[in-house]
Amino acid sequence: MSESSSVLSPATWWRRLGLAHHNWPGRFTVLLVAILLLLVTQPLFSRHAFAQNLATATISFVLLAALYALSSTRIFFAIALVLLVPSIGGRVALLFTASPAVEVVSAIFSCLFLAVTIIALVSRLFIVRSVTLDTISAAICAYLLMGVAFAYAFAAVELQNPASFSTALFQKNAGLTAPLLASLHSFIYYSFVCLTTTGFGDISPVSEGARSLSVMESVFGQLYVAILIARLVSLEVAQSIMKERE
């Protein structure tokens, strides 16, 4: 009876899901929820008057959730914290000014911050010895963040070199103080088209910088999926073998 109640106890199930001890309360799962919230709300409310404020809130939530996810690794946490200040600071400044320089700096630092987060998440996947809910969440987060990071890179290219894409991705509206915040969903859309190599063809890169980034993202997307599946399968096989030996 004691063994049965121990197996069915909430603490046991919590531990099996990878949300116990240092994983509590599921920091990678929290990050995944933040990313999904960003991806859903950006296109859904892109035409609303409060689109910029909502973009600032959701993006800041993703950045803070990513910082929380890195809290257990001091080196990545320190680097991310340094990059976080100009990322969020520039985003708040964009609510009051339409300075192109602030938009470029904010986009670059956001891209760098997300790149550090992706490296930290992928590094963790090669350290863990078992597949848990948080492990899977970390793998999904790294893939989704790759798409968002490249979206910022594309935005920076467009800001520096207008007409880098065949379609105007920035919303032209005199009432917008920060076109990047209101048009981020367009760059995210194009970024995930490249990442998944879907290739709809409605938007195509024109400048050399946009073309190089598009090719780079497509290659990274394919390599990540192949390496990720191989890693998770090997972990699952090793975990099954260990259970059989026990």
DSSP result, 35-84:
HHHHHHHHHHTTTSTTHHHHHHHHHHHHHHHHHHHTTT-HHHHHHHHHHH
State the pLDDT confidence band at 216, using cuts at 50, 70 and 90.
Answer: very high
* Per-residue pLDDT reduced to its tens digit, 54-63: 878 888 899 9
Residue 147 has pLDDT above 60, yes or no: yes
The predicted structure's pLDDT at residue 72: 80
State the pLDDT confidence band at 246, using cuts at 50, 70 and 90.
Answer: low
* Per-residue pLDDT reduced to its tens digit, 150-194: 999 999 999 899 889 988 887 665 455 566 766 788 899 999 999
Domains of the chain listed by start with CATH number: 25-245 (1.10.287.70)
Per-chain mean pLDDT for the chain: 82
Residue 75 has pLDDT above 70, yes or no: yes
CA distances from 10 to 15, 20, 53, 131, 178 (A): 9, 11, 39, 19, 47
* Per-residue pLDDT reduced to its tens digit, 196-207: 999 888 889 999
Q: Report the 3 state secondary structure along 135-169.
A: HHHHHHHHHHHHHHHHHHHHHHHHHHCCCCECCCC
CA 199, 176, 40, 123 dihedral sign is positive
The predicted structure's pLDDT at residue 111: 94
The predicted structure's pLDDT at residue 23: 45
The predicted structure's pLDDT at residue 108: 93
Residue 131 has pLDDT above 50, yes or no: yes
